[in-house]
Amino acid sequence: MAEPGDEISQRAVAAALSNPRLVAAALDLHDNRIPEAERALRAYLKEDPFDVAAIRLLAEVAARIGRFRDSETLLRRALDLAPGFGAARANLATVLYRQNRPVEAIAELDRLLDDDLDPDSLGPANLKAAALGRIGEFEEALGLYEAILKDAPNQPRVWMSYAHTLKTVGRGGEGISAYRRALDLNPHLGEVWWSLANLKTYRFSDDDVAAMQKALETPSLSDADRLHLDFALGKALEDRKDHAASFAHYAAGNALRRKSDRYDADAVTAFVDESLAFFTPAFFAERKGVGCQARDPVFILGMPRAGSTLIEQILSSHSMIEGTQELADMPFLARRGGKYPARLADLDAADFKKLGEEYLERTRVQRKTDRPMFIDKLPNNWAHVAFIHLILPNATIIDARRHPLACGFSNFKQHFARGQDFSYDLADMGRYYADYVRLMAHIDAALPGRVHRTIHERMIDHTESEIRALVSACKLDFEDATLRFFETGRAVRTPSSEQVRRPVNREGTEAWKGFESWLDPLKAALGPVLDAYPEAPPAFHR
């Protein structure tokens, strides 16, 4: 039988350290032998279903393979049996964070942390700082990072996370210093080199290039460090106009990243095909007037690296609109509860209204001002634009579009933390872009005028008229501050954070031309979309 409180937590830790079966399972987990670990732990728990150490290990198995809900259930079971089991609570906070539930993660972490950080609490404190950043509490996150680094100054990954947050709030110089401190501690940490490259405005020295090349020669270098170094060297050599060597590093980094991803281009095409057949003009007409009538959200969607951060910065300079970040709530709501989009046929007006209200409630934690409107700039929401219309018919929807070769190559040389698995292969990228254009063209036909489209090249060449059109699309009066968007002091959480703090310029808009001889797979996959840009080809179907 289980015993309550801290005593059972201490017993659990002791059991994990002394029981040879659990030690063996933990070693399997450490060496990524997931099936072996899972079989051993399930067999063990059949014999002793109350062993919280084994429950926690099985929860880690579930988390490793992306079954976060299962992991959460197991961890809550362990904590029911042993409320003082700190390691299980820390694991629960991590699983909640990975499910984009930062507020709940913070609540669990607060039960572990006190005012004085000790060595055992540095991991939870670092996670809490990251979760605070996820909900826009950047100053509190910075304070926590500073407290961690005061007590443990030799933590390169914490210096890196601290630098990320400094960059986000516009303290770029301090961020660079923090990245440099991380490299002083670990010059092989590829993610830090990439983070410097990802500032976009940063230029590496010859000594930096030599240091990265030397790091790449390290036999024991992990794939994660290697691919980040390849992406960073690609940027450094691109800045030097050494296009062949630059592309070789970009290609190597993408190939390594693609090994660990399971992107299915056919599945995306099939989803778009299904959406074209499902979302007919009659379907929308039958549901006219449904949904939550609030006009708070402004959705900026489309391809990544298509100018969405610039649009966000412009609109966030308006007194009525608050910028937030790329929010994961809309895809979660769209795909929850069954097959999407087919399940929408079974929803009634009350369901659509409730979903719109739920979206507003879920995103409320991101809103830090009393401005009546806010931005959700998750680019992948193009796949859910019909759903957005149905649950929030008065929301503004802006499609940020950029030349397919410029956009495609910009994605290819960008290493994303998560969520853009199409971007690591040129042919996959071309298909993804073409499928995006197909769906948006269909929405234009089924719901004429519903989506406002901003063409990146027009924004650069005709900035004021394009900005005025953006503000008008939001049904707001024009404000001069939107023309001085680069003066707006706000947190920006995307790779373009430094670029949008400067006036509009043409830098980087034609970078792809130096690499054109390597872009044939992208061109072939784009097909007629390339020649028809910026519009969709007539009667474009696969």
User: Among 108-117, 267-276, 306-315, which is the least confidently predicted range?
Assistant: 108-117
- Kindly list the structural domains of the chain, giving each domain's residue range(s) and its CATH number in brackets, ordered by start: 284-532 (3.40.50.300)
Q: Is the pLDDT of residue 16 over 50?
A: yes
Sorted by sequence, the CB contacts under 8 Å of residue 157 that are 6+ apart come out as 126, 182, 189
Mean pLDDT of 108-120: 75
User: Among 112-121, 157-166, 362-371, which is the least confidently predicted range?
Assistant: 112-121
The CA distance from 473 to 542, in Å, is 31
Instruction: Please answer whether residues 476 and 468 qualify as being in contact, where contact means their C-beta atoms are separated by less than 8 angstroms.
Output: no
CA-angle at 36, arms to 35 and 41, nearest 5°: 100
Work out the number of other CB atoms within 10 angstroms of the CB of residue 32: 9
pLDDT band at 14 (very low <50, low <70, confident <90, very high): low
pLDDT at 1: 32
Mean pLDDT of 200-210: 94
Q: Is the pLDDT of residue 385 over 90?
A: yes
The CA distance from 354 to 480, in Å, is 37
Round to the nearest angstrom and report the end-to-end CA distance of the chain. Answer: 61
Mean pLDDT of 341-355: 96
Beta bridge partners of 453: 399
The CA distance from 457 to 435, in Å, is 21
Give how far Cα 215 sits from Cα of 163, 218, 219, 229, 428, Å: 21, 5, 9, 8, 30
Amino acid at 67: R
DSSP for residue 139: H
Q: Is the pLDDT of residue 6 over 80?
A: no
Q: Is the pLDDT of residue 7 over 60?
A: no
pLDDT at 115: 56
Give how far Cα 110 sits from Cα of 4, 13, 103, 147, 379, Å: 21, 21, 11, 15, 33
pLDDT at 418: 78
CA-angle at 133, arms to 94 and 196, nearest 5°: 100
DSSP for residue 537: P
Long-range own/partner contacts, residues 217-226 (CB < 8 A, 24 or more apart): 218/188, 221/188, 221/190, 223/256, 223/259, 223/260, 224/190, 224/191, 225/188, 225/189, 225/190, 225/191, 226/190, 226/253, 226/256
Enter the tokens of residue 273.
Answer: 């095909």
Mean pLDDT of 108-131: 81
Q: Is the pLDDT of residue 10 over 80?
A: no
pLDDT at 112: 86
Closest CA relative to residue 416, chosen from 305, 308, 491, 492: 305
Q: Is the pLDDT of residue 502 over 70?
A: no
**SS3 label, residue 300:** strand
The CA distance from 338 to 343, in Å, is 6
The CA distance from 247 to 21, in Å, is 49
CA-angle at 453, arms to 450 and 455, nearest 5°: 175
Supply the pTM of this predicted model.
Answer: 0.84
pLDDT at 227: 96
Amino acid at 181: R
pLDDT at 510: 83
For a pLDDT cut of 90, what percent of the chain falls above it?
A: 75
Mean pLDDT of 135-142: 91
Length of the chain: 542
The CA distance from 198 to 412, in Å, is 13
pLDDT band at 443 (very low <50, low <70, confident <90, very high): very high
User: Among 406-415, 450-459, 503-512, which is the least confidently predicted range?
Assistant: 503-512
Sorted by sequence, the CB contacts under 8 Å of residue 271 that are 6+ apart come out as 383
pLDDT tens sequence across 31-46: 888 999 999 999 999 9
Enter the tokens of residue 343.
Answer: 């399940």
The DSSP string of 58-75 is HHHHHHHTT-HHHHHHHH
Work out the number of other CB atoms within 10 angstroms of the CB of residue 396: 23
The CA distance from 405 to 11, in Å, is 60
Strand order across the 373-376 sheet: 321-325, 373-376, 297-302, 396-401, 452-455
For a pLDDT cut of 70, what percent of the chain falls above it?
A: 91
pLDDT at 304: 95
Q: Is the pLDDT of residue 2 over 90?
A: no
Mean pLDDT of 81-106: 91
Closest CA relative to residue 452, chosen from 351, 321, 311: 311
pLDDT at 260: 78
Enter the tokens of residue 25.
Answer: 């399972």
Instruction: Please answer whether residues 222 and 209 qualify as being in contact, where contact means their C-beta atoms are separated by less than 8 angstroms.
Output: no
pLDDT tens sequence across 223-253: 999 999 999 999 999 999 999 999 999 999 9
Enter the tokens of residue 210.
Answer: 């030599």
Give the distance, in angstroms, between the CA of residue 184 and the centroid of all CA atoms in the same chain.
Answer: 28
pLDDT at 391: 98
pLDDT tens sequence across 412-421: 999 997 779 9
pLDDT tens sequence across 460-493: 999 999 999 999 999 999 999 999 988 875 455 4
Q: Is the pLDDT of residue 4 over 50?
A: no
pLDDT at 136: 85
Enter the tokens of residue 72.
Answer: 């959460």
pLDDT band at 5 (very low <50, low <70, confident <90, very high): very low
Sorted by sequence, the CB contacts under 8 Å of residue 381 that are 6+ apart come out as 299, 301, 330, 331, 388
The CA distance from 510 to 405, in Å, is 9
Q: Which residue has the tokens 């084994």?
A: 54
